[in-house]
Chain A
Amino acid sequence: MAVLLFRVDDRLIHGQVVVGWGRHLKADAIVVCSERVAGDDLARTMMEMGAPADVKVEVLDPAETAARFHRNEYADRAAIVLFETPAEALRLLELAVEIKTLNVGGMHFRPGKRQIMEGVSVDRADCEALNALAARGVKIFVQLVPEARPVDLIRKLPGDL
């Protein structure tokens, strides 16, 4: 699979991803790599409905995502891979899928998280996963839409969570 973009975005398939990134990168497939969504019929159907008809949507848990990567199933596809959390990106990496760069779009505020940038809030688990990804050489940038300037996320992580 040719992956144009790995992105953490807790809204998964939505306007910024479909229109902002999908059209910009000319993606023809979106993989939602999420254990939660893969196991939820309604959430999965909503994801499939959110993309244009000419974009193939796959909703898979990390193990299945990795299996398809290793079988090279979509070699001729131009795909965007979405994660709800950095932890699921780390899981995919640990399943031997190469991720060189990770785009971070939306990690929205919830109680227990701390906002560190516009649209990006983290808790301890997020910081651990992001640091683990960075330690394995993944470059992590916050960039909501293609026109925005990418910002190195690791520098912004608080050390006291």
Chain B
Amino acid sequence: MIGILLVAHGDLAEELINSVAMIMGRVPLLRAVGLHPDQGLDDLQNAIETAGAELEQGGADQLLILVDMFGGSCSNVAARLVIERDPGRVALITGVNLPMVLEAAIDRDLYSLPDLARKVVEAGKKSVVDVRAVLAEKLR
């Protein structure tokens, strides 16, 4: 199974997991790593590596890493880890939001890691909607 690792500033990653649980219950092989003000980048790297290893021990044979912001510390540290590894085994996507985590959790048994990564990017893009504009169009 594809393990899912969320990495974000503050408690966002942890709380995304709680939000996912509200919608679809507890999900296996889903972990969070937070970057807090007292942590350096080495700490963050260690935390990501540890969480990744724990997911592997739990049965994950591939890893989808979802981070909060492209170009931020979480993304930069994770990128260094990902680039050294096989693209079929580790994927890294930025801009994580709730629909992306749900998509990853629901469809991970149906797709290969590269395909799942594409589905997750698509879910994220589709989830950003100017509601007033859409409603104005539909109610016209």
A148-B25 contact in complex given A19-B106, A23-B106, A49-B134, C-beta closer than 8 Å = yes
A20, B24: Cβ atoms closer than 8 Å: yes
Question: Which residues of chain A have a CB within 8 Å of any CB of chain B?
Answer: 15-16, 19-20, 23-24, 41-42, 45-46, 48-49, 145-148
- Per the bound structure, the CA–CA distance linking A133 and B76 in Å amounts to 57
A20, B23: Cβ atoms closer than 8 Å: yes
Count of A-B residue pairs with CB < 8 Å: 36
Question: Which residues of chain B have a CB within 8 Å of any CB of chain A?
Answer: 22-26, 102, 106, 131, 134-135, 138-139
A147, B26: Cβ atoms closer than 8 Å: yes
- Per the bound structure, the CA–CA distance linking A49 and B127 in Å amounts to 11
B24, A19: Cβ atoms closer than 8 Å: yes
B135, A16: Cβ atoms closer than 8 Å: no
- Per the bound structure, the CA–CA distance linking A155 and B19 in Å amounts to 30
Nearest residue, chain A, Cβ from B129: A49
A45-B106 contact in complex given A145-B23, A145-B25, A148-B25, C-beta closer than 8 Å = no
- Per the bound structure, the CA–CA distance linking A148 and B25 in Å amounts to 7
B25, A45: Cβ atoms closer than 8 Å: no
Jot down 6 A-B pairs with beta carbons below 8 A, ordered by A.
A16-B22, A19-B102, A23-B106, A24-B24, A42-B135, A146-B24
